[in-house]
């Protein structure tokens, strides 16, 4: 499981290009453009970010990212439960 955490950390750090410790809407937007070659609008990026934003603070911490990637649960699903 340690290797899985290390891999998730590498992916998280790649998206967190400003090394703030969080994936911000801008980080996500830039990575989606770089990775997929598609320029998503703010609404689309906001929906993607909200899926893993369990603290509802507009950004994704590593703990939130790890939880989202490991469980597949979304913040939206949990708030409805």
Q: How does DSSP assign 31-80, residue by residue?
A: HHHHHH-----HHHHHHHHHHH-TT-SSSEEHHHHHHHHHH---HHHHHH
pLDDT of 80 reads: 41
pLDDT of 45 reads: 92
Q: What is the pLDDT of residues 27-61, one digit of tens each?
A: 999 998 998 888 888 999 999 999 999 999 999 99
Q: Judge whether 74 and 51 are in contact, CB under 8 Å.
A: yes
What's CA 40's distance to the chain center, in Å? 15
The domain ranges of the chain are: 22-80
pLDDT of 51 reads: 92
Confidence check: pLDDT of 1 > 80? no
Residue 71 vs residue 18, higher pLDDT: 18
CATH number, span 22-80 = 1.10.238.10
pLDDT of 3 reads: 79
Give burial (CB, 10 Å; 0-12/13-18/19+) of 51: middle
């Amino acid at each position: 499981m340690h290797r899985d955490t290390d891999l998730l950390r590498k992916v998280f750090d790649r998206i967190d290009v400003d090394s703030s410790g969080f994936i911000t809407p801008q980080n996500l937007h830039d990575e989606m453009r770089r990775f997929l070659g598609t320029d998503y609008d703010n609404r689309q990026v906001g929906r993607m970010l909200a899926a893993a934003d369990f603290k509802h603070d507009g950004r994704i911490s590593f703990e939130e990212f790890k939880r989202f990637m490991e469980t597949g649960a979304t913040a939206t699903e949990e708030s409805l439960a």
